[in-house]
Amino acid sequence: MDTERRAFLDDLLSQSTPSGFETAGQRRWLEYVEAHADETHVDAYGNAVAVSAGDDDAPSIAVAGHGDEIGLMIRDVTDDGFLKLTRIGGSDRTVTRGQHVTVHTDEGPVDGVIGQVAIHLRDSAADEYDEIAEQHVDIGAEDGEAAEKRVDVGDPITLRTRVSELAGDRVAARGMDNRVGVWTAAETFRRAVEADPEATVYAVSTVQEEVGFKGAQMVGFDLDPDAVVAVDVTHATDGPESPGDKGSDVDLGGGPVVARGSVNHPALVEAVRSVGEDTGTDLQLAAAGSRTGTDADAFYTSAGGIPSLNLGIPNRYMHTPVEVVDLQDLEAAAELLSAFAARLEEFAPFGVDL
């Protein structure tokens, strides 16, 4: 990945964008795509769209990622000055204790820690993972009055981490889910525009995917493209503790993952696989018999039914502060989808022969 593209990814990873509070990340994403777009627009909830207008009678495709991440939120401030918590999305109670956090207030960031009773003082034989609602953030306040001068109920919270360079092209950070998806949507858009396709190409960064695909429901109805590819992370199952019965065989660095079944339109699946073969892109396959758990689940039932596909970026340790991806998988996904957008007229319209 070249320096400019990597800087863009790092910028995305440096933002804190829990669902409902995505503004900073959406702003940075728009800055990147605006240089290549005929127009951009943002709706009332912050879904961001870049447009490259094609021929009037040409088909259209949207490539989308979601700009939000999981997080936490203040649900109460105790008389002792501690912050009680609730979840934003699917935050993992097993990885939150003992972490540095940032509380994002209207007045700016406030540092804190999620407390954990010292091992010397607890019965380690009876250790259990406390629910998020039973955990607390300590910002060092003497009492509730002092805490309430710094924070408000409803302020979002994110774990404070850094981007770590691992071996080869592998990188670890919080929020790869789904910075890698919005990076791919933006980079696909840039490369597709350079190819000057006849098709209209949309790049989309949605909001509130982690709380039920809400942004995709709004955007799908509004854009109504001929096809949409939702790019999101998918479980890399090549780690030593990954269960073999809860996912398809997916390797980190093995290439983007094409989901098959249910949501994923069979003609779109076949077309993308065909382009992958022509471009020499290594692809992996995943079974999605009932749902994908991504924005594709919302797109495909929007506007009377939009042919949709979930393209996955392999990711280890999803919904933890140390998600790991291989940058080659991101590059391959952008190359694949930009080539597909350039050839869209060969495959559209996407229907089912009966």
- Residues in binding site: 66, 177, 210, 232, 319
Q: Report whether 100 contacts 113 (CB < 8 A).
A: yes
Phi and psi at 280, nearest 5°, equal 70, 25
Q: What is the DSSP string of 46-77?
A: --EEEEE---TTS-EEEEEEE--B-EEEEEEE
Strand order across the 170-173 sheet: 164-165, 170-173, 323-326
Cis peptide before 310 (omega within 30 of 0): no
Sort 271 into a burial class: Cβ within 10 Å, 0-12 / 13-18 / 19+: buried
Q: Report whether 222 contacts 207 (CB < 8 A).
A: no
Q: Which residues are annotated as a binding site for Zn(2+)?
A: 66, 177, 210, 232, 319
Query: Both tokens of residue 346?
Result: 């060969």
| Three-state SS at 38 | coil
Phi and psi at 297, nearest 5°, equal -65, -30
* Active-site annotation holds for 145: no
Given 22, 187, 209, 331, which residue is catalytic? 209
**Which residues are annotated as catalytic?**
209
